[in-house]
Chains A and B, each alone.
Chain A
Amino acid sequence: GAVVSQHPSWVICKSGTSVKIECRSLDFQATTMFWYRQFPKQSLMLMATSNEGSKATYEQGVEKDKFLINHASLTLSTLTVTSAHPEDSSFYICSARSLNTYEQYFGPGTRLTVT
Chain B
Amino acid sequence: GESVGLHLPTLSVQEGDNSIINCAYSNSASDYFIWYKQESGKGPQFIIDIRSNMDKRQGQRVTVLLNKTVKHLSLQIAATQPGDSAVYFCAENNGKGSGGSNYKLTFGKGTLLTVNP
When A42-B4, A44-B89, A103-B46 are in contact, do A32 and B100 touch as well, CB less than 8 Å?
yes
In the complex, per-residue mask of B89-117: 1 if CB is within 8 Å of any chain A CB, else 0 = 10001000101110111111110000000
Could you tell me the distance between the alpha carbons of A95 and B34 in the complex, rounded to whole angstroms?
14
B101 A43 Cβ-Cβ under 8 A: no
Interface class of chain A by DSSP: strand
Q: How many residues of A contact B (CB 8 A)?
A: 30
When A43-B4, A46-B105, A104-B105 are in contact, do A93 and B100 touch as well, CB less than 8 Å?
no
Interface class of chain B by DSSP: loop
Binding site for B on A (CB under 8 A): 4, 6, 31-34, 41-46, 49-51, 54, 57, 91, 93, 95, 97, 102-109, 111
A43 B108 Cβ-Cβ under 8 A: yes
Q: Which residues of A contact B108 (CB under 8 A)?
A: 43
Could you tell me the distance between the alpha carbons of A97 and B105 in the complex, rounded to whole angstroms?
12
Could you tell me the distance between the alpha carbons of A107 and B101 in the complex, rounded to whole angstroms?
19
Least distance between B107 CB and chain A CB atoms (Å): 5
B83 within 8 A of A: no
B106 A106 Cβ-Cβ under 8 A: no
B5 within 8 A of A: yes
B70 within 8 A of A: no
Q: Which residues of B contact A104 (CB under 8 A)?
A: 103, 105
A45 B4 Cβ-Cβ under 8 A: yes
